[in-house]
Structure 1
Amino acid sequence: MDEKFNYVLKRIFKSRWYPGILQWPTAIVFCVIIFQMLFGSSSPHDNFGTAMTWIFWWSIIPLTFLIVGRVWCAICPFAMLSDFVQKFVGNHRPVPRFLKKYGIWIIDFIYVLITWSDHVFGMVEYPRGSGVIMLLITTGVIVSGAFFERRTWCRYLCFLGGLSGNYSRSAALELRSSPETCKTCNVAACYKGGEQAPGCPMFEFPKTMDSNASCNFCGDCIKNCPNDSIKVSLRMPTKELWFIQRPKVAEAFLAVIIMGIVFVQNITMLDVWAEAQHYLEIFLGTDNYAITFTVIFAIAMAIPVLLLYITSWISSRINSASTYINFARFGYALIPLDFAGHMAHNLFHLLAEGKAVLYAGMAMFGIHVQPTSTAVLSANTIEIMQFALLFLGVVGSAYTAYRISGFNYGPQSNDPKKQAIYSYVPYVILIILLTLLNVYIFLLPMSHRA
C-alpha cells in the first residue's frame, strides 16, 4: 500500500503540470486578498482579505507543514513572484555570506518583529495595516529576486519559511534520494537544473540532503534526475528530529520563542488581559501600550528560553555535553509541543471565528448577512480539541526527547540505557511544565481578536 501511495506521490511531483496548476489559482486569490485589504471594508471581520488571511490561512498553514512539509512554499505567490522577477531582470548574484551564516537569526528577528507589530499597531484589527505588511514583503521579494540567485528570500529571509522549516522536520512526508544510485552520478542535474526544470530553487542538493527543513517539494529535482533516484515517501511524524547530526542553536531558539509568542497571543486574548495590563501600567508607571506590551512580550519569550537553558545546564552535569550543545539538541524536541500549542491557539480562530470568512466572501458580491455568531463549533468542543492536540504534542515531544537522548548519549556510556534516561529526565519535566502552562491558559475564557 505504501509503495503504491509513494508511486502516486512521485508521479504528481514529476508531472509537468505541478506545481503550476496550484500556483496560478493561489496567486489569483492572493491578488484578491491584497486588493481587499487595501480597498475593502475597514472592519476585519467584514474584510475578505483579513478574514481569509488571519482566520483561515494563518490558522491552517502549520497543519500543512506537519502533513506535507513545505509544499506551501512551492505554490506560494511570493515564490512565484521571485521566479518571475529573476526571469526578466535577475542579476543572479551569489547569496551574501552573512545571509548564509545569519539567515536563520534574521528570520527569528523578523518573526518576532512582525508579531510585536501585530499587537502594537493592530495589524489584524486594521486591514490597511495587513495590506501594507504584504506590500513590504512583496517589495523585499522583488529586490531579492532582482539581485540574488534562486529563491534567496524564501531560503534565508522569509519568516514563514523559518516557521515551516522547523515544523516540516516533523512532517509525515519526506523527499530523499537513493545513496547507492547517487554515488555513481556525476551529472548533478537535481541541483544545477536540466531540460525538464531549473535547479533546486532552495539551494538543496538531494544527494546529501538529510532534512526537510529547506525542501519545498517543488518537484524540480525529481523531474531532472536522470537515474530516477529521488523519491517522495511517507514516514513517522517527528522521526527526523530524532537523529539530527548538526543541531543549530538558532533553529532550536526559534522553536522555543514560538512557544513564548503563542503564550503572548493567548494571554492578550484572555478576558483578564485588560486587568493584568492595568496593574502592569501601574507597576511600570506608564500607560503607553507599546511599552507595557513589549515588557510582557519579552518576558513571555524569555520564560521558555530560560527554562530550556536551565534544563540544558542540569543535563550537562549528567551527560558531560555543554549546555550550548544540549540546548541545540533538545530544542528540537520541543517542536511537537510547540506545534500543538500553536495549532491549539489557531483552532480558536478557525473554529470560533471561521464563518466570518464565508460572510466576508459573500459581502464581496453584495450579499450581506448579519450573523448571530461566527463560530463553527461550540466553545466546549473547541476546548476538547485543544486539549487533545496538547496531549499529542506532549507525547510527541517526550518521545522525541527520549530518542534524542538515546541517539546522542547512550552509546558514550558504559551503561547506555542509564545514561540516556538520566539525560532525558530533565527534559520530560520541562515538557510537562510547559504543557501544564498551556493547559492553564487554554482553560481561561478567550475573546476574539479579529
Structure 2
Amino acid sequence: MLKQPWYPGIIVWPTFFIFGFIVYQLLFGPDAAHDNFGTAATWVLWWPLIPLIFLLLGRFWCAICPFATLSDLVQKVVGLNGPVPKFLKKYGIWLIDFFFILITWADHVWGIVESPWGSGILLLMLVTGVVISGAFWERRTWCRYLCFLGGLSSNYARAGAVELRATPDICKDCKTASCFKGNGKVPGCPMFEFPRTMDTNARCNYCGYCVKSCPNDSIQVSLRVPTRELWFIRKPSFEESFLAIVIVGIVFIQNITMLDVWGKMLAFLENLTGTSNYAVIFTIAFLIAMGSTVALLFITSFFAKKTESTTVNFARFGYALIPLDLAGHLAHNLFHLLAEGKSIFYTFIALFTEMPEGSPALVSNDVIQLLQFALIGLGVLGSIYTVYRIAKYNYQDDFKRPFLVHTILVILLGILNIYLFTLPMMSRM
C-alpha cells in the first residue's frame, strides 16, 4: 500500500476536510458540548482512539494529520524552507513536554473539553503555530519538534506492534540516500529521519515516501512484539522518560477529577491554602500528581543504581513505564468512548433533524470497568517485562536489584490505577 501513488493522499484529504467541518462545528455549532458534533467527534471518538492507533499502527496518524497537511500546503505556497533552529533541535522535546502539560492544565482550568468554542479556539491556536512553522522552516518541523501530540505519539509508537526498517545487507552498498533526500518525484523524509539507519519508531509516520523512493526495495514494514523496541534503547533520553512518568501523574489527576472524592479534595486544599480560586487549587493538585510520580521514579532509580547515576537509571527505566502509560491512557479514554459513545451518533443526526434522546452509553459501567482492569493488567505485565529486559540488557547477570525495585514501582502504580477505576466516574458529555 505504501508504494501506491494514491497513498497517503486518499486518506489525507478526506481527513483534512472532515477536520475543517469539525472546527466549523466547534466554533459555530451548538454552545452545549453534549449537543455539538464537533465536541463528540473530537473528544469522544478521536481522542480515545489516538493511543490505540499508536499502539497498533505507530505514528500513522501523523501521516494523515490535518496539521501536517496544512504545514505542507503552507510550505508549497509561501515556505522559506529555512533550517530548523538549533534551539528547537536541542530543546524541542522539552517544549513538547511543556505544551502537553500546559494544554492538559488549561483543559481543567478553563473547561476546554466541555466548551465547543474553547476546543475550537485551541485548534485554531495550533493551526497558527503550524502555519508559522510551515512558512519559515523546512519539512515538518512542527511535527518533529513542537507538536504536543507528537511527543505522546513518539513514546507510544515505541511500544507499537509494527515497525518500518531498512534491510542493512541491501543498504550497505547504496550510494543515493534517496530515502532521506527524495528522488525528484517523491519528497524526502518529512520527519528528518534517515530510514537507512533508523532503529526507532519514535519519529516515523509511515508516510511511505522512503518506500517509494528507495531504488533497491530495501525498506519494509513488519509486525513485531509490542514493547520490543523499549528493551534495547542504546541512548535513553531523560526528556522522553520524564514525559512517560509525567503522563502517569496526569492520568491519575484526570481520573480523580471525575470522581466524587474530587470535591472533598478541593475543599481540603481550599482550607489548606486559604483560597477558593479553582485555577490555584487545581494547579496545586496537578503539580502534586505529576511531582509525586516523578519523585517515585527518582527514588526508585536511586535505590536501583549500581555504578550509574540516578539520572541515568531514571532515563533508562522511564521507558519501562510506557506500556503502563499506554494502558492507563487507553483505560481512561475507554470510559469516554463507551460511556459517551452514542453522543457521536446523536449529535451527527442532530445536524439534519431533531436530536434523539437516550443514554449516551454504549455498554454498562460494569463492562467498562472489566475492560479497564484488563488493560491495566496488560500494562503492568508489559511494564514488568520491559523492566526485566532493560535490566538484563544494561546489567547482564547483575540485574536483580534494578529489576526488583522498578518492578515494585510498576506494581504500586498499577494498583493505584486499578483502585481509581473501581470508583464510579462522572461523564463529561
Shared fold (TM-score, shorter chain, > 0.5): yes
Alignment of 1:192-207 (within 5 A): 192-207=181-196
Return the match for 2:383 from 372, 397, 400: 397
Which residue of the partner structure matches residue 338 of structure 1?
325
* Corresponding residue of 2:89: 100
Contact 1:196 1:223 in 2 (8 A): no
Q: Distance in 2 between matches of 1:106 and 1:114?
A: 12
AA in 1 matched with 2:407: V
What is the alpha-carbon distance in structure 2 between the residues aligned to residue 262 and residue 144 of structure 1? 30
Letter aligned with residue 350 of structure 1: L
Say yes or no: does 1:423 pair with 2:412: no
Whole-Å separation in 1 of the counterparts to 2:317 and 2:352:
51
The aligned amino acid for 1:86 is: Q
1:18 Cα deviation after fit: 0.6
2:163 alignment partner, SS class: strand
Deviates more, 1:375-384 or 1:270-279: 270-279
For residues 265 and 22 of structure 2, the distance between their equivalents in structure 1, rounded to whole angstroms, comes to 35
Count of equivalent residues: 429
Say whether residues 1:52 and 2:58 are aligned partners: no
Residue aligning to 1:7: none
Aligned residue among 331, 336, 359 for 1:349: 336
Distance between the aligned counterparts of 1:117 and 1:325, measured in 2? 32
For 1:14 and 1:329, how far apart are their aligned partners in 2? Answer: 36
Instruction: Give the match's secondary structure for 1:442.
Output: helix
1:434 alignment counterpart = 413
Matched, 1:266 2:245: no
- The equivalences for 1:205-220 within 5 A come to 205-220=194-209
> Superposition pairs for residues 257-336 of structure 1, below 5 Å?
257-316=246-305, 319-336=306-323
Which residue identity does 2:320 align to in structure 1?
A: A
Q: Does 1:245 align with 2:234?
A: yes
1:111 corresponds in structure 2 to 100
CA distance in 2, matches of 1:383, 1:14: 42
Residue 186 of structure 1 deviates from its aligned partner by 1.4
Q: CA deviation at 1:309?
A: 0.3
Distance, in Å, in 2 between the alignment partners of 1:197 and 1:71 is 18
Instruction: Give the superposition deviation at 1:303.
Output: 1.1
Out of 17, 40, 50, the position equivalent to 1:28 is 17
Amino acid in the other structure paired with 1:382: I
Q: Following the alignment from structure 1 to structure 2, what is the Cα–Cα distance between the partners of residues 234 and 69?
A: 11
Residue segments in structure 1 that go unaligned for 5+ positions in a row: 1-11, 411-415
The residue number in structure 2 matching 1:9 is none
Distance in structure 1 (CA, Å) of the matches to 2:292 and 2:336: 25
For residues 378-406 of structure 1, what are the alpha-carbon distances to aligned partners after superposition, in whole Å with 9 as ceiling and x for unaligned? 00000000000000000000000000000
Q: Distance in 2 between matches of 1:241 and 1:359?
A: 41
**Superimposed CA distance per residue, residues 282-315 of structure 1 (whole angstroms, 9 cap, x where no aligned partner):** 1110000000000000000011100000000001
How far apart in 1 are the matches of 2:185 and 2:372?
Answer: 45
1:205 offset after TM fit, Å?
0.1
Does the 8 Å CA contact 1:45/1:357 hold for their aligned counterparts? no
CA distance in 2, matches of 1:272, 1:313: 33
The alpha-carbon deviation at position 367 of structure 1 amounts to: 3.3
Q: How far did residue 275 of structure 1 move?
A: 2.1
In the TM superposition, what whole-angstrom CA distance separates every residue of 1:33-74 from its partner, at most 9, and x where no partner exists? Answer: 000000001111110111110111001100000000000000
Q: Verify: 1:359 aligned to 2:346, yes or no.
A: yes
Aligned to 2:373: 387
Q: Does 1:375 align with 2:361?
A: yes
1:88-237 equivalent positions in 2, closer than 5 A = 88-237=77-226
TM-score w.r.t. the length of structure 2 is: 0.99
Instruction: After TM superposition, give the deviation of residue 195 of structure 1 in Å.
Output: 3.3
DSSP 3-state at the match of 1:92: coil
How far off its partner does 1:348 sit? 0.5
- C-alpha RMSD over aligned residues: 0.7
TM-score by length of 1: 0.95
SS for the counterpart of 2:164 is: strand
CA drift of 1:437 comes to 0.7
Kindly state the Cα deviation for residue 369 of structure 1 after the two structures are TM-superposed. 1.1
> Equivalents in 1 of 2:28, 2:257: separation in Å?
28
Q: Aligned residues: percent identity?
A: 60
- Unaligned segments of structure 2, at least 5 residues: none
Shift of 1:28: 1.3
Counterpart of 1:210, as a letter, is D
Residue 77 of structure 1 corresponds to 66
Please list the CA deviations of residues 304-330 of structure 1 after superposition, one character each: whole Å capped at 9, or x if unmatched. 1000000000011xx221111100000
Moved more, 146-155 or 176-185: 176-185
Partners of 2:424 and 2:265 in 1: CA distance: 14
The code of the aligned residue for 1:199 comes to G
| Shift of residue 279, structure 1, vs aligned partner | 1.8
> In 2, Cα distance between the equivalents of 1:270 and 1:194?
55
Tell me the amino acid that sits aligned with residue 233 of structure 2: I
Q: Secondary structure at the match of 1:56?
A: helix
**Contact 1:155/1:202 (<8 A) preserved:** yes
Given residue 110 of structure 1, which amino acid in structure 2 is its aligned partner? F
Superposition misfits of 4+ residues, deviation over 4 angstroms: none
Partners of 1:435 and 1:88 in 2: CA distance: 49
Hey, what's the Cα distance between the residues in 2 that align with 1:196 and 1:432? 51
